[in-house]
Amino acid sequence: MRSVTTHTVIRAWRRSTLPASEPRSNARTESSQRSTGRTSTGSARRAGRCLLGSSFGAVAALSAAYRAPDVYGALVLMSGSFVFTDIAGADHGGGPVFDPVVRFVNRYRERPRRVADRLFVGCGVYEPLITANRSMVPRFESAGMAVRFLETRDGHSWENWRDSLRDALSWVYPGPQKLVYE
Give per-residue pLDDT as tens, 26-58: 444 455 455 545 444 455 588 889 999 999 999
Residues 105 and 115: their CA atoms lie apart, in Å, by 14
What are the distances in angstroms from CA 43 to CA 91, 150, 157? 40, 29, 34
What is the structure's pLDDT at 98?
80
**Exposure class string for 10-26: b at 16+ Cβ within 10 A, else e:** bebbeebeeeeeeeeeb
CA–CA dist 114, 146 (Å, integer) = 10
Domains of the chain: 2-172 (3.40.50.1820)
